[in-house]
Amino acid sequence: MLKQTATTVLATLWLCAGYAADPERSVIQIFTFSQQPIWDAPWRFDAVRRMGGSGFVIKGKRIMTNAHVVSWGRQIIVRRYQDPRPYVAAVEYVAHDCDLAVLTVQDSRFFDNLDPLELGELPKVRSAVVTYGYPAGGEEISYTRGVVSRIELEPYAHVGNRRLLTCQTDAAINPGNSGGPVIQDDRVVGVAFQGMAGLENAGFFIPTPVIEHFLKDIEDSHYDGFPFAGLRVMPLQSPAYRILLKLPDNDLGARVDGILPIPSTEKEFKLDDVLLKVGDYPVASDGTILYRGNRVSSALAFQFVQAGQSVPVQIWRDGQQRQLSLPVSAYAGDRAAGYQYDTLPRYLVYGGLVFTPLSLDYLRTLGGSAPEISNGEMYYELFFRNYEDHAKARPEPIVLASILADSVNANLRIRGRTLLDQINGVRIEKLEDVVRAFETCTNGFDLIEFLPHHGCETLERSEVANANSRILKTYGIAHDRRL
Amino acid sequence: MKARIFLLIMVLGTALQAQTPERKRAQPSPWERSIVTLEASRKQYDYYQPWTRKTGRAIKTALYIGEHQILTTADELFDRTLVRFQKGGRGRWWPGEVTWIDYYANLALVTCSDEDFWRDLQPATLGGTVPEGGTLQILRWHEGNLENRRAEFTQFTVREGQLAAINQTVLEADSDIQNAGWGEIVTANSHAVGIVSAQEGRMCTAIPATFIQNILEARKQSRYHGLGFFHFYWQGSQNPASLARLNLPGEPRGVIVNSVPARPDDCEQVLRPQDIILSIDGFALDIQGDYADPEYGNLMLENLATRNKWAGDDVKMQIWRDGKLMNIVYRLPKYDYSVSLVPSATYDQEPEYLILGGLVFQPLTDSYLQSWGNDWRRRSPFRLNYYRNDPPAKDRPALVVMSQVLPDSYNIGYQEQRCLVVDKVNGKTISRLADLRGAIDHPVNGFHVVEFVQSDSLRRIVISAGDSEKEATGRILKRYGIDEAYHLAGKAE
């Protein structure tokens, strides 16, 4: 009897295993040969790197993967399960804010006998999931089983300055797993995408609501991005503050404590407005909503709609309830404060001086001590100016990234890594101002002033005119600018 | 017989060899009667919990310079509770009393009221020059003996002081002495040529005797009112195009003024951006901003603000402005820690704080930022640190920070808030804790409304005022073992 029971259990397990083995045929191995620009020498590129990742087949003969698996890709190679043949793939859509991408494969035979995986629901916390993928350490597909540990809004490391819905799991997610499906009951419930330094047995995957939002967004053949309300919402749990705002003594309502310079948001909201409900979700006093059994930041409630749509919001203002409709769209105002992709860095080389926009990518070239360089001026300009002094914020702060040594600039004291203030009296707000300031100057000298203490350098314009082509030739720069 | 003589010589030689060290010990160095050990005990504050204090102790070297005055550096003499001396590296301790201290110059004079202390002491001579070959000695008492370490003179140069960001001449010397920087005496040819104020690796930095003599002399003549400084930013004129743009004829020379902040003493700034300073007090400036000092060689121009000139003194400058030579007089402003929006030191002053319903408010100072540890410039919050670059403004000469919240039911909802710079309380702009103390006497409709400077963090906190606040503050003080709800500068209430 015991023997019979054991056999039944084994048979059941075998059936389960066999049943669960089907998705693996639709899991794709991806090799990307990528080449990133060098942000402080923007005409150059880093060495070509080979990166391994994973993906899976979705409807419409497409492959879904992570944006970071295919970013800066020069060539993307995909391979089917246990099939040695390489196929060339191309990015059809990429969404850097939510770290997702859709690939196509020119050779339609690639999709022969491959079934697209279906998307499932947001998994429940404590439920079991299996990640499929091709992590480092071997060539064969790998499966790791774990449970969903928690569901929250977390930073997406690919861009660095966006927080979207995330599932944490104790299933191992290692380099190479990125882009692979996380499966529950034969359906994809997420895309594996990142780990977290310092946390053991913790991996993160992008859950289906984010994936579905992305797929819906690209239905019009254009990716707009996740909407961003631009509100800083703080808990409202102080009894005194609630009394001051004449709010009922319950657990509802969180306070608007900051508003980013987004016209629609600035128009609709005031400081000390209290969010009572966003969409269909009541906002609790700690600033969270209850979303499918999970307490998550109320910022999520602004992310369900597509960019360009409006979110109904119930607020408390001046002792009364009010109803607003907030139009939301993707926010590009902090683009430079996150990692950037697809667009090559802008620059101008003039007299060997390399000018480029200030960005997180540029700061990364300075190493770990970025806040200390230039008295923290660049760090402040990139991360704080917009919050503190929006009127004085420059749309595109420009740095003198480096100096290409030449006799024309041999006497310059400054060697780069400095934020620009003015050139020939023109306040530098964006790279085009640098071009204009040099090209419209009628003096014999160019005067370049730097922040924070107006250190300055002078170039003789006649010498620069002679030197420019020489410098470009010496340093192998095809064009003096990319605007 | 030959063998006996040889044996005798051997015995005598051995005896002589054995006696040599004895004779050296028996012949004391004259410095033994001039150099004393100074022990400074002081209060140490934890600026993260400003109501707590520990004690600290430092052993230093000091030099008797006559007239019942012992000279040492000011370092570790702040917040002192007891100063005492020891002569000869051993024996009894004698109580000392600081008669003059200047943290900016990093100098102090200490005396002893017990006449017996001065018996046997011999005043040292300050001054002299670095000898040809540059060999110096660094002296201090160490384990009962006068430690005498050889040092090689490296250079005179201009560096920021040890206790203040003010440029002055220093003597640099290379030595294998360990753990120096505590007032050790640098000597040459029977003169004290400097006092060691810092050491990094083998490099010892000393305050030159001439600088010390000048200050002591000026002080005697009541001409010393503190160190002055040049309150403007400049750059060298290594780039000939910059001088050509400003139409300066002749050989490249001078430095270009970049920016001229408002003076801390409200005097008019006589310099303008894009002036070229050609000479100061008759010393011509080269394109790097150096001048030829008759005593020390090439030094940076900043030294001309402290070269026998003091706060309030005039220095004469020859400048090039708008295509013309001009002579101007620059009055040296007094250097003070509060020339920065974030004072770089708060010596001899217990940490200020104010606790309101568990919300802890403190002045934003370097001392507070240093509570992040040795690597505080990296580890302390960037935004707080960045305020150190700002000058004080008329409407906000200093900053107050809500450093933390001591959790209690009264302040529920705010427990995790910290490191927020206060803008207003109850509608009143806050620069100092005294402003805050005044503002909380005027709650708004029964509430204290605390607004923070607009940044990427929390803007506003509201707590109830009146009895509930007083009750909560009392409860919190008791729970967290804090004696007083506040300590304001000059008011140890």
| Structural domains of chain A ordered from first start | 12-111 (2.40.10.10), 128-220 (2.40.10.10), 231-327 (2.30.42.10), 345-482 (3.20.190.20)
Q: B311 — phi, psi (to 5°)? A: -50, 135
| Residue numbers in B near A444 (CB within 8 A) | 245
Query: Which of residues 367 through 386 in chain A touch B, CB cutoff 8 A?
Result: 369, 371-372, 375-377, 379-380, 383-384
Mean pLDDT of the region A14-33? 72
Query: Among partner residues A369, A413, A456, which is closest to B238 by beta-carbon distance?
Result: A413
Strand duo A231-234 + A254-259: pairing? antiparallel
pLDDT tops 90 at residue A249: no
Residue B235's closest chain A neighbor by CA? A455
Whether the CB of A388 is below 8 Å from some CB of chain B: the reply is: yes
Cα pseudo-dihedral B154, B160, B162, B163, rounded to 10: 170
Alpha carbons A342 and A93: distance in angstroms, whole number? 12
The pLDDT value recorded for residue A369 is 62
Q: Cis link prior to A452 (omega < 30° from 0)?
A: yes
The answer to whether the beta carbons of residues A367 and B373 sit under 8 Å apart is no
Nearest to B350 by CA among B40, B45, B81, B76: B45
The average confidence (pLDDT) of chain A is 92
Alpha carbons B438 and B435: distance in angstroms, whole number? 5
What count of other Cβ atoms lies within 10 Å of the Cβ of residue B12? 10
Whether the CB of A251 is below 8 Å from some CB of chain B: the reply is: no
Which of A123-132, A158-167, B13-22, B148-157 shows the lowest mean pLDDT across its residues?
B13-22
Strand duo A100-105 + A87-95: pairing? antiparallel
Query: Among partner residues B239, B240, B259, which is closest to A454 by beta-carbon distance?
Result: B259
Residue A453's closest chain B neighbor by CA? B259
| Residue A293 CB burial class (10 angstroms; 0-12, 13-18, ≥19) | exposed
| Residue numbers in A near B396 (CB within 8 A) | none
Largest interatomic CA distance in chain A: 102
Kindly determine whether residue A372 and residue B377, on different chains, have CB atoms separated by under 8 Å: yes
The answer to whether the beta carbons of residues A371 and A379 sit under 8 Å apart is yes
Which segments of A43-196 are extended strands (E)? 49-58, 62-65, 73-79, 87-95, 100-105, 128-133, 142-155, 163-169, 181-184, 187-195
Kindly determine whether residue A244 and residue B462, on different chains, have CB atoms separated by under 8 Å: yes
Rg of chain A on CA atoms, in Å: 27
Query: Domains in chain B, start-ordered, CATH in brackets?
Result: 28-224 (2.40.10.120), 233-331 (2.30.42.10), 340-487 (3.20.190.20)
* A16 residue type, one letter: C
Q: A357 — phi, psi (to 5°)? A: -65, 145
The pLDDT value recorded for residue B130 is 85
Whether the CB of A387 is below 8 Å from some CB of chain B: the reply is: yes
What count of other Cβ atoms lies within 10 Å of the Cβ of residue A335? 17
Query: Among partner residues B241, B456, B461, which is closest to A384 by beta-carbon distance?
Result: B456
In DSSP notation, A5-61 reads: HHHHHHHHHHHHHHHHHGGGGGEEEEEEEE-PBPTTSTT-BPPPEEEEEEEEEETTT
The pLDDT value recorded for residue A454 is 83
The residue ranking higher by pLDDT, B23 or A475, is: A475
| Mutant choice from B233, B386, B416 vs A, greatest count of A C-beta within 10 A | B386
The pLDDT value recorded for residue B25 is 52
| Residue B10 CB burial class (10 angstroms; 0-12, 13-18, ≥19) | exposed
Mean pLDDT of the region A323-330? 97
| Residue numbers in B near A443 (CB within 8 A) | 245
**Percent of chain A with pLDDT strictly greater than 70:** 94
pLDDT tops 70 at residue A19: no
Whether the CB of A392 is below 8 Å from some CB of chain B: the reply is: no
Alpha carbons B476 and B493: distance in angstroms, whole number? 18
Q: What is the pLDDT confidence band of residue A137, given thresholds at 50, 70 and 90?
A: confident
The answer to whether the beta carbons of residues A158 and A244 sit under 8 Å apart is no
Kindly determine whether residue A258 and residue B240, on different chains, have CB atoms separated by under 8 Å: no
Q: A290 — phi, psi (to 5°)? A: -100, 110
Whether the CB of A455 is below 8 Å from some CB of chain B: the reply is: yes
Residue burial A193-227, b: 16+ Cβ < 10 Å; e: rest: bbbeeeeeebbbbbbbbbbebbbebbeeeebebbb
The average confidence (pLDDT) of chain B is 92
The contacts of residue A83 (CB under 8 Å, 6+ apart) are none
Alpha carbons B307 and B303: distance in angstroms, whole number? 6
Kindly determine whether residue B455 and residue A387, on different chains, have CB atoms separated by under 8 Å: yes
The pLDDT value recorded for residue B264 is 87
Query: Which of residues 267 through 326 in chain A touch B, CB cutoff 8 A?
Result: 271-272
Residue A424's closest chain B neighbor by CA? B245
The answer to whether the beta carbons of residues A420 and A355 sit under 8 Å apart is yes
Residue burial A154-168, b: 16+ Cβ < 10 Å; e: rest: bebbbbebbebbbbb
Residue A100 to chain B, least CA–CA distance (Å): 28
Whether the CB of A114 is below 8 Å from some CB of chain B: the reply is: no
The pLDDT value recorded for residue B19 is 41
The answer to whether the beta carbons of residues B253 and B277 sit under 8 Å apart is no
Task: Note whether ipTM > 0.90 here.
Answer: no
The answer to whether the beta carbons of residues B315 and B309 sit under 8 Å apart is yes
Mean pLDDT of the region A459-482? 96
Residue A246 to chain B, least CA–CA distance (Å): 13
Please identify every residue of A annotated as catalytic: 68, 99, 178
The answer to whether the beta carbons of residues B109 and B98 sit under 8 Å apart is yes
| Residue numbers in A near B258 (CB within 8 A) | 453-456
Residue B248 to chain A, least CA–CA distance (Å): 14
Write out the residues of chain B at the interface with chain A, using a CB-CB cutoff of 8 A. Answer: 233, 235-236, 238-242, 244-245, 256, 258-259, 273, 377-378, 382-383, 385-386, 389, 411-414, 445, 447, 449, 453-456, 458-464
Chains A–B, number of C-beta pairs less than 8 Å apart: 106
The contacts of residue A133 (CB under 8 Å, 6+ apart) are A27, A54, A141, A142, A176, A177, A178, A179, A180, A181, A192
| Residue numbers in A near B453 (CB within 8 A) | 388
493 residues of chain B, pLDDT tens digit each: 344 443 333 333 344 344 444 444 557 789 999 999 999 999 999 999 999 989 999 999 999 999 999 999 999 999 999 999 999 999 999 999 999 999 999 999 999 999 999 999 999 999 988 888 889 999 999 999 999 999 999 999 999 999 999 999 999 999 999 999 999 999 998 999 999 999 999 999 999 999 999 999 999 999 999 999 999 999 999 999 999 999 999 999 999 999 999 898 888 899 999 999 999 999 999 999 999 999 999 999 999 999 999 999 999 999 999 999 999 999 999 999 988 899 999 999 999 999 999 999 999 999 999 999 988 988 999 999 999 989 999 899 999 999 999 999 999 999 999 999 999 999 999 999 999 999 999 999 999 999 999 999 999 999 999 999 999 999 999 999 999 999 998 643 3
Whether the CB of A453 is below 8 Å from some CB of chain B: the reply is: yes
The pLDDT value recorded for residue B228 is 96
Residue B260's closest chain A neighbor by CA? A453
Kindly determine whether residue B259 and residue A453, on different chains, have CB atoms separated by under 8 Å: yes
Strand duo B290-293 + B283-284: pairing? unpaired
The pLDDT value recorded for residue B493 is 34
pLDDT tops 60 at residue A14: no
Q: What is the pLDDT confidence band of residue A370, given thresholds at 50, 70 and 90?
A: low
The answer to whether the beta carbons of residues A18 and A142 sit under 8 Å apart is no
Contacts for B338-341: CB closer than 8 Å, 24+ residues apart: B338/B264, B338/B392, B338/B397, B338/B398, B339/B231, B339/B264, B339/B391, B339/B392, B340/B388, B340/B390, B340/B391, B340/B392, B341/B387, B341/B388, B341/B390, B341/B391, B341/B392, B341/B393, B341/B396, B341/B397, B341/B398, B341/B399
Nearest to B340 by CA among B300, B384, B389, B383: B389
Stated pTM of the model: 0.89
Residue A456's closest chain B neighbor by CA? B258
Whether the CB of A462 is below 8 Å from some CB of chain B: the reply is: no
Query: Among partner residues A240, A383, A457, which is closest to B462 by beta-carbon distance?
Result: A240
Alpha carbons A130 and B249: distance in angstroms, whole number? 79
Residue A380 to chain B, least CA–CA distance (Å): 8
Count Cα neighbours of A132 within 13 Å in the Cβ-side half-sphere: 26
In DSSP notation, B326-369 reads: EEEEEEPPBP-GGGSSS-S--TTSPPPEEEETTEEEEE--HHHH
The answer to whether the beta carbons of residues B309 and B291 sit under 8 Å apart is no
| Residue numbers in B near A244 (CB within 8 A) | 445, 447, 449, 462
Kindly determine whether residue B235 and residue A388, on different chains, have CB atoms separated by under 8 Å: no
